[in-house]
């Protein structure tokens, strides 16, 4: 059982556009904690006329707030907001599962282990955590609450694709979330690709790969091709003529 409640609705001006911001709380009674979970939805334009661009972004205090170069989260967040603004419509769901679900302090402990040579996956395991503790139940429930039946999903993460599809929402296409890397996050990006199965159209060395914004954000044209039922086939179908 679950209880999801919209707790705020406000005008939210940003450097890219003025969004409508909705805040949600939910309690999932089948989860052990029974604590309320929270998520935000930044909405722009008409999200029902055609399948809107949607980004589910996991909270990253170190990247989103402090602009850490250890990850690509900050740049992915800005890419999503800029792309939604350029299109004039879309939704960014900001969900609070820091550090792939282990929380900020545990993520910082994992960073300490990474400084000693472990990668992001092995550091989580060394601390006794699963590789990725996130679930996207609240994120997809927010999309259902917004009455979104089909969407274009900006993600490189196959788990997000599976979560949205299993919710019954139709994914008509995937938009790459690739951003240029730095020497500080090169190993992190490689680990996401090689151990977590994230899609990437960047070169093997993401630091040397150039990311053209127009190319990254204009993947979809008027003729959007359908997506098959298997997330593993999405990479070959993510660019449409």
> Looking at the predicted structure, is the pLDDT value of residue 86 above 60?
yes
The confidence band for 203, taking pLDDT boundaries of 50, 70 and 90, is: low
Q: Is residue 107 part of a domain?
A: no
Q: Is residue 153 part of a domain?
A: yes
**What tokens appear for 101 in the block?**
């679900």
- DSSP labels, the chain: -EEEEEEEEEEEE-SS-EEEEEEEEEEETTSSS---EEEEEEEES-SSSSPPEEEEEE--IIIIIT--SSSSHHHHHHHHHHHHHHHT-EEEEEE--HHHHT-HHHHHHHHHHHHTT--HHHHHHHTT--S-----HHHHHHHHHTT--EEEEE-S-HHHHHHHHHTT-EEEEEE-------TTTHHHHHHHHHTS-----S-SSTTT----HHHHH----SSPPP--S-GGGTGGGSS--
Q: Which is nearest to 201 in space by CA: 235, 157, 170, 166? A: 235
Q: What is the mean pLDDT of the chain?
A: 86
Q: Is residue 225 part of a domain?
A: no
Kindly report which listed range (5-14, 62-71, 137-146, 232-241) carries the lowest average pLDDT score. Answer: 232-241
CB-based contact 167:140 (threshold 8 Å):
yes
Q: What is the pLDDT of residue 31?
A: 62
* Number of structural domains the chain divides into: 1
> Looking at the predicted structure, is the pLDDT value of residue 167 above 80?
yes
The confidence band for 32, taking pLDDT boundaries of 50, 70 and 90, is: low
Q: Is residue 158 part of a domain?
A: yes
Which structural domain, as residue segments, surrounds residue 210?
47-97+134-220
Q: Is residue 64 part of a domain?
A: yes
Q: What is the pLDDT of residue 215?
A: 36
Cβ-Cβ contacts under 8 Å for 11 (sequence gap 6 or more): 18, 19, 20, 21
Q: For 57-84, what is the mean pLDDT?
A: 97
Any idea what the CATH number is for the domain that residue 166 is in? 3.40.50.10990
Q: For 136-161, what is the mean pLDDT?
A: 97
Q: Is residue 102 part of a domain?
A: no
Q: Is residue 182 part of a domain?
A: yes
The confidence band for 231, taking pLDDT boundaries of 50, 70 and 90, is: very low
Using a pLDDT cut of 70, give the percent of the chain over it: 80
> Looking at the predicted structure, is the pLDDT value of residue 190 above 80?
yes
Return the active site residues. 132, 134
pTM: predicted TM-score of the whole model, two decimal places: 0.83
The confidence band for 220, taking pLDDT boundaries of 50, 70 and 90, is: very low
Q: Is residue 54 part of a domain?
A: yes
Residue predicted with more confidence, 240 or 174 = 174
Q: What is the pLDDT of residue 240?
A: 27
């Amino acid at each position: 059982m679950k209880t999801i409640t919209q707790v705020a609705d406000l005008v939210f001006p940003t450097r890219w556009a003025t969004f409508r911001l909705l805040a949600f709380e939910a309690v999932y009674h089948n989860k052990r904690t029974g604590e309320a979970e929270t998520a935000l939805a930044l909405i722009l334009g008409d999200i029902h006329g055609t399948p809107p661009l949607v980004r589910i972004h996991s909270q990253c205090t170190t990247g989103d707030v402090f602009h850490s170069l250890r990850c690509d989260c900050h740049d992915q967040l800005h890419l999503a907001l800029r792309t939604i603004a350029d299109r004039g419509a879309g939704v960014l769901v900001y969900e609070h599962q820091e550090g792939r679900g282990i929380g900020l302090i545990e993520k910082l402990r994992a960073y300490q282990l990474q400084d000693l040579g472990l990668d992001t996956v092995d550091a989580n395991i060394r601390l006794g955590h699963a590789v990725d503790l996130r679930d996207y139940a609240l994120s997809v429930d927010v999309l259902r609450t917004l009455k979104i039946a089909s969407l274009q999903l900006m993600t490189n993460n196959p788990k997000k694709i599976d979560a949205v599809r299993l919710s019954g929402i139709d994914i008509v296409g995937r938009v790459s979330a690739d951003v240029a890397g730095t020497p500080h996050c090169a190993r992190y990006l490689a680990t996401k690709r090689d151990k977590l199965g994230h899609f990437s159209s960047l070169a093997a060395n993401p630091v040397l790969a150039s990311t053209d914004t127009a190319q990254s954000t204009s993947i979809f044209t008027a003729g959007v091709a359908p997506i098959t039922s298997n997330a593993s086939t999405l990479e070959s179908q993510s660019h449409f003529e």
